[in-house]
Structure 1
Amino acid sequence: MTKVLQVRLDSETKAAADRLYADLGLDTSTAVRMFLQASLQTNGLPFAVKRAFNPETEAAMQEARDIAAGKIKAKGYKSVEKMFAELDAEMARE
């Protein structure tokens, strides 16, 4: 049994997609079915979705990569309690 899926698009996007898929020998409905099947096969979107990070996040991610690569020595703690005690003391100084 098949079901109907309705999607709202602006007319320019619909026309451009129709032309693109026609050039590929597909209709838009077939292309959408292919997208949905690929999503199910990959258990997610069948392409990478990326969002730019702000500079602070980028710097933190680079620092984490450098720590993992051994380029930066990271401080370790023998217990979570010691870590939180040091963090609390640091916060009190600020």
Structure 2
Amino acid sequence: MLLVVGLIFLAVAAEHPLVPGALLGLVLAAAQVAGAWPALRRVRTILLTIGGFSTVAWALLARGTTPLLGPVTVESLLYGLGTGLKLVATIAGSV
């Protein structure tokens, strides 16, 4: 239980996608050690949907200063990617 609380705290602590990405890597490594891949395979569609939708939604809705493509800015894309990775790491860590 303490591990899940720690994962949630670390996932929420940073906005840049590197920290949640590294955290997701740790979660996947822990899943390998614990033998939890069958459980993660069952929820992978949900994880991909939530992560993808969150990334796209925040990339379109958040504001930034450096234009990338249309309404999407570099800052909003990084924020969306970070948020999507946070959600996926938190959900995968709790499985």
Q: Which has the higher strand share?
A: 2
Higher relative contact order (CA 8 A, sep 6+): 2
Q: Which has the higher helix share?
A: 2
User: Normalising by structure 1, what TM-score?
Assistant: 0.23
User: Normalising by structure 2, what TM-score?
Assistant: 0.23
